[in-house]
Structure 1
Amino acid sequence: MKTLNIGIAGAGPAGLAVALMLSPRGHRVEILERFDEASPVGSGLMLQPTGLSVLSTLGLLQPMLALGSRIDRLYGADARSGRTVLDVRYDALAGGRFGLGVQRAALFNTLHDAVVAAGLPIRTGVTLSTVAMAGGKAVLYDAEGHEAGAYDLVIDASGARSALSAGSAVAPKTRELAYGAFWATLDSDGVPHDGNALVQRYDRAKVMIGILPAGKARAGEKDRVAFFWSLKTADADEVRRAGLGRWKGVLLDYWPECGPLLAQIDDWEQLALARYAHRTMRPPVSGRIAFIGDAAHSTSPQLGQGANMALIDAAALAHALDTAADLDAALVAYARARRSHVQLFQLLSLIFTPFYQSDSAVLAWLRDRLVATVARMPPMQALLASIVSGTLVDPFASAGLAECDWHAVRVCGRSQPSGALTADAEEPA
């Protein structure tokens, strides 16, 4: 493969990661970001063994481990009865896997600092709208129709609302999901919570409240948690009009222990409303454009795979460019490498999401009684752990990766706050 001149749309985790992978291979990369200053968007997320393995290849695993909170378990209970609904433990699988709860700012800061240290160029304030072929180059145009750059390859990492993706020949149909969530990043000092588990409360499938230990945004800062509450996005304005007091009252009725977290919220501006959509590009390439991350595929966050899939995409594309004879062959190889993994997890997300976020009382009843019972039986425990880990099918070999030796990885668990409620303590007798 000759040296390529590559334009990367978007300075989120996917765009930053792919730039860090391609530059050492000799390619010239330039990141174009629509905001005047590249910055993180969102509250918290889970890094799974897949995403952590990609960060390891970039030499960024230890910095992330130092910032994040080790997650060993995903636990959910019915808010009224206390009945266990979800209990997924990473140790149901051999190999010592775990998740890492992080602030989105921590992932962004770690990748962005590495990009800056490598001297890779980021052009900000550039809103991209279209791309066209001219003279054998992929030419990017901004929202005013001005040329923003001509490249051998354009990588679209600009997210689920990408204009480049929507205007491409392989643009998928977008299915807007009815349910979204309010998110907030809050101080965890003195707040009872399980420091090594994502803990959730449900009222049928219409309400989901969660607390995710999310560590620090930067070294030296306090640990924080990501707090979220699901709702229909169409109802968000009505909820805001009713006032914070009423909203807090509803949450406290479901989960009184959330009081110290809710006490930190005194303005709706502290809560970000996340909207979700389901879309999958087949294939994730069009001409001289490769799509990665949410620009290529997006869905609800129910399985916690979004950022991890984006990082695997970046690794797979870099591997294809590294091993194929020419650019056209590399793009075909990239699409082939990601096909089965993406399609499987998009399908799983479609299947699982209605059990946790929908108006269906029947699905919630089945989840709480039938599914929760079956999930406790082997081999379902290991199967669920492999789904959460993102490894139900192997994503590593096709991306040129080796999974980390988790037994050799050391990450300090966050100490339990005084009087913390662990997931075990919350289970009914």
Structure 2
Amino acid sequence: MKTLKIGIAGAGPAGLAAALMLSRRGHQVEIVERFDEASPVGSGLMLQPTGLSVLDTLGLLEPMLALGSRIDRLYGADAKSGRTVLDVRYDALSGGRFGLAVQRAALFHTLHDAVVKAGLPLRTGCTLTDIRLVGDRAVLLDASGREAGAYDLVIDASGTRSALAAGSPRAPKVRELAYGAFWATLDSDGLHHDRHALVQRYDRAKVMIGILPAGRAREGEKGRVAFFWSLKAAHLDAVRQEGLDRWKAVLLGYWPDCAPLLDQIDDWEQLTFARYAHRTMHPPVSGRIAFIGDSAHSTSPQLGQGANMALLDVAALAHALDRDSDLDAALAAYAAARRNHVQLFQLLSLAFTPFYQSDSAALAWVRDRLVATVARTPPIRALLASIVSGTLIDPFRSAGLSESDWHAVRAAPDARGHLGARAIPT
């Protein structure tokens, strides 16, 4: 592929990673961001072996390990009976895989610092609303209809509510999901919790409360946890009107150990309510525009794959541009490379979500009694671990990646202090 002039819409993790990877492969990139200052949004997330392998190729695995918290286990129990509902352990698979819980700010700052260090242009305060093809150039338009830049290729990394995706001939149908979640990043002082596990409590499928050790936003800062509570979007105003004290009392009734976290919340402004939608663009290309991350595919965060899928998109697109000298063929190759993996995990997420976030008592009963029992058998334990890892089918080869050597990562002197060697609790 000749050197391309590439415009990247959005300075989130997907856009920043795309700028780094493509600039290192000789392309001229420019990031265009709608906010006056590029900044992180959200609380915590899980980086899986898939996303971590992409960060490794960018030389950013070590700083992320230094900031994040190793996750060995996903554990969930019924809030009333204490019955184990979910117990997924990465060691059900060979290879030494693990998850890494991070603050979204940590992922953003690590990528943003690398972009700044590389001297890549990042233009802020420009809201992009449309794109038109002029000859063989993709021209971006801002909210006033003025030209915001002309490029050989535009990469849309502007998220689920992307105006560019919505205006595309490929615009997917959007299914707004009934349940969202309150999120907050809080200090863990006084909290009794497993520092290497995502722990959740459920009341059927209508209530899900979780604590995720999320590490540090920057070196030198203290570690924090991401705290979340699922809520039907239609009930949001009613919950706020009842007041914080009522909300806290409900949560403490389910999980008294959360008290040190709830004591830190004095205002609704400390909580971010995230709304979710399910959408998949087929294919994730249209003319001279490639869609990556949430602009191409989004769903509930139940499987914890969002950021990882976006990073895989970046790697697959860069690999396709490397392999084919014709841009149209390269974009078609990108779409083909991501098709099976995206469709599988979009389907799995859509299928799993109602078991954890819905009004169905029947699905919760099945989850708690049948699924939880079957999940203890060795084949299903390994299957669930591969789903959580994002490796149920191989996502690496089609993206031109090799999975990182996790045993070597764990053994590295710089990693041992952060990843730890503590046995997974029973």
User: TM-score normalised to the size of structure 1?
Assistant: 0.96
- Structure 1 match to 2:257: 257
2:404 is the alignment partner of 1:404? yes
2:163 is the alignment partner of 1:163? yes
- Structure 1 match to 2:341: 341
Say if 1:140 and 1:150, in contact at 8 Å, map to a contact too.
Answer: yes
Question: Quick one: distance in 2 between partners of 1:243 and 1:212?
Answer: 25
2:237 is the alignment partner of 1:232? no
Map 1:69-80 → 2, pairs under 5 A: 69-80=69-80
Question: Quick one: distance in 2 between partners of 1:233 and 1:16?
Answer: 31
Say if 1:199 and 1:423, in contact at 8 Å, map to a contact too.
Answer: no
List per-residue Cα deviations over 1:401-420 (Å, max 9, x = no partner).
0000000003435789xxxx
Map 1:288-303 → 2, pairs under 5 A: 288-303=288-303
- Structure 2 match to 1:219: 219
* DSSP 3-state at the match of 1:395: coil
Question: Quick one: distance in 2 between partners of 1:61 and 1:413?
Answer: 12
Question: Quick one: distance in 2 between partners of 1:108 and 1:80?
Answer: 38
List per-residue Cα deviations over 1:27-82 (Å, max 9, x = no partner).
10000000000000000000000000000000000000000000000000000000
Question: Quick one: distance in 1 between partners of 2:183 and 2:169?
Answer: 34
Question: Quick one: distance in 1 between partners of 2:137 and 2:250?
Answer: 56
Say if 1:182 and 1:230, in contact at 8 Å, map to a contact too.
Answer: yes
Q: What one-letter code is carried by the residue in structure 2 that aligns with 1:162?
A: S
Q: What one-letter code is carried by the residue in structure 1 that aligns with 2:125?
A: G
Say if 1:71 and 1:197, in contact at 8 Å, map to a contact too.
Answer: yes
Say if 1:196 and 1:413, in contact at 8 Å, map to a contact too.
Answer: no
2:323 is the alignment partner of 1:323? yes
Q: What one-letter code is carried by the residue in structure 2 that aligns with 1:252?
A: L
- Structure 1 match to 2:375: 375
- Structure 1 match to 2:142: 142
Classify 1:206/1:78 alpha carbon distance in 2 versus 1 (closer, same or farther; 3 Å): same
Say if 2:189 and 2:260, in contact at 8 Å, map to a contact too.
Answer: no
Question: Quick one: distance in 1 between partners of 2:214 and 2:262?
Answer: 17
Classify 1:414/1:260 alpha carbon distance in 2 versus 1 (closer, same or farther; 3 Å): farther
Unaligned runs of 5+ in 1: 417-421, 425-429
Say if 1:90 and 1:97, in contact at 8 Å, map to a contact too.
Answer: yes
Aligned sequence identity (%): 81
Q: What one-letter code is carried by the residue in structure 2 that aligns with 1:239?
A: V
- Quote the offset at 1:423 in angstroms: 6.6
- Structure 2 match to 1:114: 114
Q: Which stretch of structure 1 is more off in the superposition, 186-195 or 207-216?
A: 186-195
- Structure 2 match to 1:363: 363
Say if 1:174 and 1:277, in contact at 8 Å, map to a contact too.
Answer: yes
Say if 2:93 and 2:385, in contact at 8 Å, map to a contact too.
Answer: yes
* DSSP 3-state at the match of 1:409: helix
Q: What one-letter code is carried by the residue in structure 2 that aligns with 1:298?
A: S
Say if 1:75 and 1:423, in contact at 8 Å, map to a contact too.
Answer: no
List per-residue Cα deviations over 1:103-141 (Å, max 9, x = no partner).
000000000000000000000001000000013210000
2:281 is the alignment partner of 1:281? yes
List per-residue Cα deviations over 1:172-208 (Å, max 9, x = no partner).
0000000000000001122111100000000000000
Give the aligned length.
419
- Structure 1 match to 2:50: 50
- Structure 2 match to 1:246: 246
Say if 2:65 and 2:419, in contact at 8 Å, map to a contact too.
Answer: no
* DSSP 3-state at the match of 1:379: helix
Q: What one-letter code is carried by the residue in structure 2 that aligns with 1:40?
A: P
Q: Which stretch of structure 1 is more off in the superposition, 134-143 or 28-37?
A: 134-143
> Structure 1 runs of 4+ off > 6 angstroms?
none
Q: What one-letter code is carried by the residue in structure 2 that aligns with 1:215?
A: G
- Quote the offset at 1:325 in angstroms: 2.1
Q: Which stretch of structure 1 is more off in the superposition, 271-280 or 185-194?
A: 185-194
- Structure 2 match to 1:151: 151
Say if 2:67 and 2:218, in contact at 8 Å, map to a contact too.
Answer: yes
* DSSP 3-state at the match of 2:182: strand
Say if 2:66 and 2:418, in contact at 8 Å, map to a contact too.
Answer: no
Say if 1:195 and 1:415, in contact at 8 Å, map to a contact too.
Answer: no
- Structure 2 match to 1:419: none
- Structure 1 match to 2:87: 87
* DSSP 3-state at the match of 2:378: coil
Unaligned runs of 5+ in 2: none
Q: What one-letter code is carried by the residue in structure 2 that aligns with 1:345?
A: F
Say if 1:75 and 1:199, in contact at 8 Å, map to a contact too.
Answer: yes
Question: Quick one: distance in 2 between partners of 1:255 and 1:287?
Answer: 51
Q: What one-letter code is carried by the residue in structure 1 that aligns with 2:204?
A: R
- Structure 1 match to 2:196: 196
Question: Quick one: distance in 2 between partners of 1:414 and 1:251?
Answer: 31
* DSSP 3-state at the match of 2:77: strand
List per-residue Cα deviations over 1:6-35 (Å, max 9, x = no partner).
000000000000100000111100000000
Question: Quick one: distance in 2 between partners of 1:53 and 1:223?
Answer: 23
List per-residue Cα deviations over 1:288-312 (Å, max 9, x = no partner).
0000000000000000000000000
